[in-house]
Amino acid sequence: MTDTAPDPLLAVDGLACSFSGLRAVDGATLEVERGSITALIGPNGAGKTTFFNVVTGFCPCHGGSVRFDGADVTGAPSHRIARRGLVRTFQLTKALNAMPVIDNMLLAAPRQPGERLVTTVLRPRRVRAREREVRAAAMELLDTFRLRRLADEYAGTLSGGQRKLLELARALMAEPQLLLLDEPLAGVNPTLGVELLDHMQRLRADRGITFLFIEHDMEAVMNHSDRVIVMAEGRAILSGAPSEVAVDDRVIDAYLGGKRIVGPTP
Ligand SMILES: Nc1ncnc2c1ncn2[C@@H]1O[C@H](COP(=O)(O)OP(=O)(O)OP(=O)(O)O)[C@@H](O)[C@H]1O
């Protein structure tokens, strides 16, 4: 690692996670700056997805620490980490596919007082007010992603691109401070890919959301991120501006197929 942020939103130190002896994440140390769009790159099997899973509480932590927004969240359950604003996207499951788009959105909202019978009975007005708030937030996001007209359609009937947008919209219902995206451009046509990257820029500007995204598309990484972190064999081996990372010999040899990429386009 070559740089550190003064007040990082996410600070991970020596993180480890093994699967039956295989060290998928092996002492990863990295930081994500507040308000940045940071890319996480590295070869297949480098441990990027497992890193996301450990940080967000979906895989066990076998060593090291995770600090988010100044709090130690190492090994905390995923729902508690998400409630703090550290959220990752997920592919729509079978169950979610069998539900209308709007229900997918409503289910993803935090702090639903109607979840508790006692609140529903004793404070019905509060429950209804929160339900209206959640529905309004869902509709606004569906508008943003041009999915509003599909609100009552089953999620399973959406095109691949629309599903990607719905995954992003669902994650935003959790009101993230830091959103982790695992290969957001995979399987997406180039036009929608550009749209997704524009959404990230706009969400950062309008809602102050910080992004950490895993991506193999080097053009997207170099042109749409402020920082790039390179992972190999379970560790972060390099971090810097895209223009710095793009000229590093290790990156050129191992991850860019020997091709030199000259920084972001103006
Ligand atoms: N649930 C699991 N059980 C066993 N091994 C796993 C599990 N998840 C990941 N691994 C292994 O951990 C290593 C890291 O995998 P991971 O998916 O985190 O890498 P990655 O960098 O995200 O790769 P890719 O770019 O191909 O998605 C790989 O060797 C993988 O096979």
Rg of the chain in Å (alpha carbons): 19
Burial class (CB in 10 A: 0-12, 13-18, 19+), 119: middle
Instruction: Look at residues 119, 152, 174 and tell me which one is the last residue of a structural domain.
Output: 174
Distance CA 114, CA 6 (A): 41
Q: How many domains does the chain have?
A: 2
Residue 193: Cβ within 10 Å count: 20
Asked whether residue 110 falls in the same domain as residue 157, the answer is: yes
Confidence (pLDDT) at 97: 86
Q: What are the distances in angstroms from CA 264 to CA 36, 125, 190, 219?
A: 16, 52, 18, 8
d(CA 63, CA 218): 31
Let me know whether 77 and 99 are in one domain: no
| Residue 16 CA to ligand 1 centre (angstroms) | 13
Write down which residue in 174, 196, 222 finishes a domain.
174
Instruction: Tell me the ipTM for this assembly.
Output: 0.96
Q: Residue 260's pLDDT band (boundaries 50, 70, 90)?
A: low
CA distances from 192 to 26, 203, 259, 264 (A): 35, 16, 26, 20
* Chain centre distance of CA 91: 12
pLDDT at residue 259 tops 60: no
- Quote the ligand 1 centre to 40 CA distance (angstroms): 15
Residue whose CB lies within 8 A of the most ligand 1 atoms, among 18, 22, 54, for a mutation test: 22
Q: Is 191 in the same domain as 261? A: yes
Question: Comparing 73-82, 115-124, 151-160, 167-176, which segment has the lowest mean pLDDT?
Answer: 115-124
Are 65 and 132 contained in the same domain? Answer: no
Q: Whose CA is nearest to atom 8 of ligand 1?
A: 50
Can you give the CATH number for the domain in which 26 is found? 3.40.50.300
Question: 184 and 260 in one domain?
Answer: yes
121, with CB counted inside 10 A (0-12, 13-18, 19+), is exposed
- Domain-ending residue, one of 174, 190, 223: 174
Quick one: which H or E segment has residue 180? strand 178-182
Bigger pLDDT: 265 or 54? 54
Same domain, 108 and 74: no
> Candidates 15, 18, 19, 41: which one to mutate for ligand 1, based on the most atoms within 8 Å of Cβ?
19
Residue 240 alpha carbon to ligand 1 centre in Å: 24
Residues 135 and 181 in one domain: no
Same domain, residue pair 137 and 63: no
Provide the pLDDT for residue 254.
Answer: 64
Write the residue with the smallest CA distance to atom 25 of ligand 1: 44
Give yes or no: residues 34 and 74 share one domain.
Answer: yes
By residue count, the chain amounts to 266
- Give, for ligand 1, the residue of 48, 229, 231 to mutate: max count of ligand atoms closer than 8 Å to Cβ: 48
Going from the Cα of 185 to the center of ligand 1, the distance in angstroms, rounded, reads 19
pLDDT in tens, 21-50: 899 999 999 999 999 999 999 988 999 999
Dihedral over alpha carbons 132, 134, 140, 146 (to 10 degrees):
-120
pTM of the predicted structure, to 2 decimals: 0.88
What range defines the domain where residue 218 resides?
A: 1-85+176-266
Residues 106 and 231 in one domain: no
Tell me the backbone φ, ψ of residue 181, rounded to 5 degrees: -115, 125
Task: Specify whether 260 is located in the same domain as 180.
Answer: yes
11 or 96, higher pLDDT: 11
Q: Are residues 147 and 218 in the same domain?
A: no
Instruction: Using the predicted structure, report yes or no on whether residue 230 has a pLDDT greater than 80.
Output: yes
